[in-house]
Amino acid sequence: MGHIQITPSILNSDFARLGEEVARIPGADWVHVDVMDNHFVPNLTFGPTMVEALARVSPVPLDAHLMIEDADRNAPAYVEAGCGSVTFHVEAAKAPVRLAREIRSAGARASMALKPATPIEPYEDLLPELDMLLIMTVEPGFGGQKFLDLCLPKIRRARAMMDKHGIETWLQVDGGVSLETIERCAEAGADVFVAGSAVYSAEDPDKMVAALREKAQAAQA
């Protein structure tokens, strides 16, 4: 298992002052940017132009989570926009291996996401092509939803597959991650944690990042 990383999502931050919002979390490992197209999910956020502007001012690298249709065609723009990691949904990709290779060769970390009802088993042989696997712990589309415990067995199975293959793929969880739920995720084998409302509803977001990190590290040990 890799070292613990905390990745705040700006989805529930103040979109009118995004530059200031990312400056409030200098202790984070990444900033998670949720790109939504109102087709793959019933919500709409921003596109590559906005992401590029944010990449220029963010104190930490951007981790793009693309909840958009036609990932094969649309994902490369987010590498060009300056994201250090680009996650596409397997449900929206026609050729996930080709896309992961394209993202890597363009210079970013390649990551693939699974919705709660998408099984990991058909993708076991694909794991070496990925720098990170994202297992969603809510239905994608909105921040502030309740963590789905039913996703924990899939996290355990994914971690076991990575161990079996002896690969260093990071395992990210996203949705409802908080001080209450992060230990369960770390115990199951996750090492990269997205937290949106937990971080941005805290009085001091950077302190919350540190508290989440501490809990996850204790649970992983």
Ligand X SMILES: O=C(CO)[C@@H](O)[C@H](O)COP(=O)(O)O
The residues annotated as belonging to the active site are 34, 174
DSSP state of 26: T
Q: Are 108 and 86 in contact (CB under 8 A)?
A: yes
Segment holding 134, helix H or strand E: strand 132-136
The first and second tokens of residue 53, run together, are: 């502007």
Least gap, CB of 41 to ligand X (angstroms): 6
Listed in sequence order, the residues at least 6 apart from 155 whose beta carbon sits closer than 8 Å to its beta carbon are 135, 171, 173, 185, 188, 189, 190
Given CA atoms 171, 158, 162, 80 in this order, what sign does their dihedral have? negative
196 touches ligand X (CB under 6 A): yes
| Residue 205 contact among Fe ion, ligand X, none, beta carbon within 5 to 8 Å by kind | none
Neighbours of 69 (CB within 10 A): 17
Least separation in angstroms between residue 165's CB and Fe ion is: 25
Q: Which is nearer to ligand X, 166 or 203 (CB)?
A: 203
Q: How far is the CB of 33 from ligand X (least distance, A)?
A: 9
Which of Fe ion, ligand X, none has residue 131 at its interface (CB below 5 to 8 Å by kind)?
none
| 9: contact with ligand X by CB under 6 A | yes
Q: Establish whether 105 is an annotated binding residue.
A: no
Size of the site for ligand X (CB under 6 A): 22
**With contact defined as beta carbons under 8 Å apart, do 136 and 115 qualify?**
yes
Is 184 near ligand X (CB under 6 A)? no
58 known member of a binding site? no
Q: What angle do CA 209, 182, 63 make, to 5 degrees?
A: 55
- How far, in Å, CA of 101 to CA of 124, rounded? 16
Binding of ligand X at residue 138 (CB under 6 A)? Answer: yes
> Using the rule CB under 6 A, is 143 a contact of ligand X?
yes
Q: Does 205 bind ligand X (CB under 6 A)?
A: no
d(CA 110, CA 42): 25
Applying CB under 6 A, does 115 fall inside the site for ligand X?
Answer: no
Do residues 134 and 114 touch, judged by C-beta distance below 8 A? yes
Among 65, 154, 184, 213, binds ligand X (CB under 6 A): 65
* Residues in contact with Fe ion by the rule CB under 5 A: 34, 65, 174
Annotated binding site for substrate: 9, 65, 141-144, 174-176, 196-197
Annotated binding site for a divalent metal cation: 32, 34, 65, 174
Residues that bind ligand X (CB under 6 A): 9, 11-12, 32, 34, 65, 138, 140-145, 174-177, 194-198
Annotated binding site: 9, 32, 34, 65, 141-144, 174-176, 196-197
